[in-house]
Amino acid sequence: MYRLLIVEDEPAMLRGLRDNLEAEGYDVDSAMDGKSGLEKVLGNTYDLIILDVMLPQLSGFDVLKKVREKGIGTPTIMLTARGEEIDRVVGLELGADDYITKPFSLRELLARVKAVLRRAEGHTVGSSKMVVENVEVDFSTYTAVRDGEAMTLTPKEYDVLKFLWDHRNSVVSRDQLLTNVWGYNDSLSTRTVDNFIARLRQKIEKDPSVPRHILTVHGTGYKFVV
């Protein structure tokens, strides 16, 4: 049975989400502010977090940032009443796996919960380790080393890198990355992919300004060359 945590400060929304997710067979825990939500994440193990952005004490963004800084890669769906693209980008770049804008239908939420859990289960499919020059990455344990020293990557950076590595020496489009890593087709800007690629080059390439491995294929996408 999957164990879920909902962090939501609106009592009616929290009760509705909890009742319906439990009816679907999930084991559901909850918190009503960011501080309590963070404490629960740090003290327990969950398969998925449903995290509101606008929370008392700590915002959802702050909670997610602290969770990822602790190396906890639990899949997370962000909830917000705001629909601005910048909010979606901020949440996703902090390491969220999906993003739903209120108001939303219960059917949509349940579908996204199932999709995120399914992607999380399939994360280890393919090659589990990458070794390129002075960089070693273990995708099964979310650990990375450069020149013998530990290197920090966010869970989503691991996911992007793994997709590129699994398709190394082949061109992958930005849309492929959005669909397979974030689960989006066209609702998220491809600029998000470009931002992640830029950050990965800073961490993987010896000279990010002249990359040797993560190459841009103009008009199409990217290729990881080994």
Map out the domains of the chain as residue ranges.
3-121, 129-224
Give the pLDDT score at 203: 93
Distance CA 185, CA 148 (A): 38
Distance CA 18, CA 4 (A): 9
CATH 1.10.3660.10 is held by the domain 129-224: no
**CA distance to 79, 131, 156, 161, per residue, from 111 (Å):** 14, 36, 20, 26
pLDDT digits over 128-157, tens only? 789 998 999 988 788 899 998 999 888 888
Percent of the chain scoring above 70 in pLDDT: 91
Give the pLDDT score at 86: 66
Cα 35 vs. chain centroid, distance in angstroms? 21
Distance CA 133, CA 147 (A): 9
Give bridge partners of residue 149 from the DSSP assignment. 146
Q: Is the pLDDT at 225 greater than 70, yes or no?
A: yes
Secondary-structure class of domain 3-121 per CATH: alpha beta
pTM above 0.75, yes or no: no
